[in-house]
Amino acid sequence: MGMDKKQKPTICVIGGSAAGMAASICAAREGAKVILIEGNEKLGRKIYATGNGKCNFLNIDQDRSHFHTSGDPAWISDALNCMDNDFVLTFFHELGLPSVVRHGGYYYPANESAATVVTCLEDEIDRLGVEVILSDRMRSLRYEDGRFSVQLRSGRAFEADAVILAMGGSASPKFGSDGSGYYYAKNFGHTIVEPLPALCPLKLKENGATFSVWAGTRINDASITLIIDEKPVISEKGEILFTDYGISGIPVFQVAGSAAIALEKNQKVSVEIDLAPGTDPEDAENAFPEWREYFGERTLQEQLSRIFPVKLIEALKVIPDRNKKMATMKATAFGKAFDTLKHLRFDVFYTSGFEQAQVSSGGVSLPEVEPVTMESKKQPGLYFAGELLDVYGDCGGYNLQFAFTSGAIAGRAAAQSCLQGGRE
């Protein structure tokens, strides 16, 4: 069934996420009639929480190793090459949102307000005349006689020439992500890679530590190495937060996705934490004679508590000779104790789950989607964007970048395809 060339094509965007909002804007800019449907009472709920409310949406470092998939990483490169950093910056500049670079490469809105990002997107959506439906969700999606039929839970129904699914994954259900996008993708024949929590805290076995004692302690400059089946696979450095169930913080988030996948495969997963990555045991041994001379009446635990947080040292029962006085110790014994703090080993038994995960790994299998258009290879006219796809990024703006980029690609491609004459 062809479409009257004078008639605007209708594109239905399901999900008012970062990806869905970008898709709506880019489709409307191409001349399509756009209907944006969001289950929450407002658009972009998850954006408000990103970057601790400051919205880190991009990163100067664009090495593709910051993006992860179970499929071919070349797919991600093909997609991101369509719309690079300059596109994202220009996109926001055109929305009237200046940006600044912080922390050596993290892009934020100039006023560091995630709410402003949402407002700018909403203003453009309103200016372009996009029809926005809030507090309603999709009940069914069918393809019949060359068009899509969209039925909402409220009873409202639409016909569309193209549909863009930007419904998010399974992470952070408090923001409205319920994983329903996987169901609709499967109905059109797509393979779903098992969604798992990513960018989240890790739950550890105590292994010689008392977590209730160290809870709330932070180390600003620590490193963590993820070990799978006794082989180190990833190391990250930064601030680690010690909790009553294990550990959290950006370095932990960076390794959590790989940990979740390994746990799902029933592999042995552990982490090694180095509390002083810039110092080695020999440095500690060399400093020990002077400390022993001046602080000989202190116990080893008391001295280490001058170097590291008190509660952390109290919690680590694995430190050898912790109750000995410094005056009775040798430098090698002190070095051994210090070495323990550089190789704290804990088994991982679970992540914190989807509730605390910032994103989910897994999703719609990438070989079934065209990277330069985001169109389904299974169903013409069906597009995907954002976290629904089997892609997730590291902390540092990569997930929002992929959301905005994939949404823009999908919106533009869907509109251009429809405007070229419709579908038979």
Residue 50 in this model has a pLDDT that exceeds 50? yes
Note the maximum CA span of the chain. 92
At residue 6, the pLDDT reads 58
Would the pLDDT of 5 be above 90?
no
* pLDDT beyond 70 at 320: yes
The predicted-structure confidence for 278-292, as pLDDT tens digits, reads as follows 888 888 888 889 889
Average pLDDT for 377-388:
98
Confidence bin at 423 (pLDDT 50/70/90): very low
Q: What value does the mean pLDDT take over residues 141-165?
A: 96
Whether the predicted pLDDT of 393 surpasses 60: yes
Q: What is the DSSP string of 211-228?
A: HHHHTT-EEEEEEEEEEE
Q: Is the pLDDT of residue 3 over 80?
A: no
What whole-number percentage of the chain has pLDDT above 90?
A: 86
- Cα 390 to Cα 71, 163, 356, 364, 369: the distances in Å are 8, 19, 19, 5, 10
| Per-domain boundaries in the chain | 10-197+359-419, 201-352
Whether residue 424 has pLDDT greater than 50: no
Q: How many CA atoms lie within 13 A of 375 on its CB side?
A: 15
DSSP string spanning 373-406? T-BBSSSTTEEE-GGGBS-EE-TTTHHHHHHHHH
Higher pLDDT, 293 or 377: 377
Residue 7's pLDDT band (cuts 50, 70, 90): confident
Is the pLDDT at 363 greater than 60? The verdict is yes
Answer whether residue 2 shows pLDDT above 50: no
Rounded to whole angstroms, the Cα distance separating 27 from 10 reads 10
Q: How far apart are CA 213 and CA 221, in angstroms?
A: 20
pTM value > 0.85 = yes
Q: How much is the average pLDDT of 209-238?
A: 97
Q: What is the pLDDT of residue 1?
A: 38
Residue scoring higher pLDDT (205 or 177): 205
- C-alpha pair distances (Å), 337 with each of 241, 318, 328: 22, 9, 14
Residues 357 and 171 sit within 8 Å (Cβ to Cβ): yes
Q: What's the pLDDT score for residue 422?
A: 53
Helix axes 281-295, 331-342, angle to 10 degrees: 130
**Averaged pLDDT score across all residues of the chain:** 94
Section 366-381 average pLDDT: 98
Lowest mean pLDDT among 40-54, 130-144, 153-167: 40-54
Higher pLDDT, 114 or 424: 114
Range 327-332 average pLDDT: 92
Q: Which CATH class is domain 10-197+359-419?
A: alpha beta
Cα–Cα distance measured from residue 373 to residue 95, given in angstroms and rounded to the nearest whole number: 23
Q: Is the pLDDT of residue 128 over 70?
A: yes
Does the pLDDT at position 37 exceed 50? yes
| Residue 117 scores a pLDDT above 70 | yes
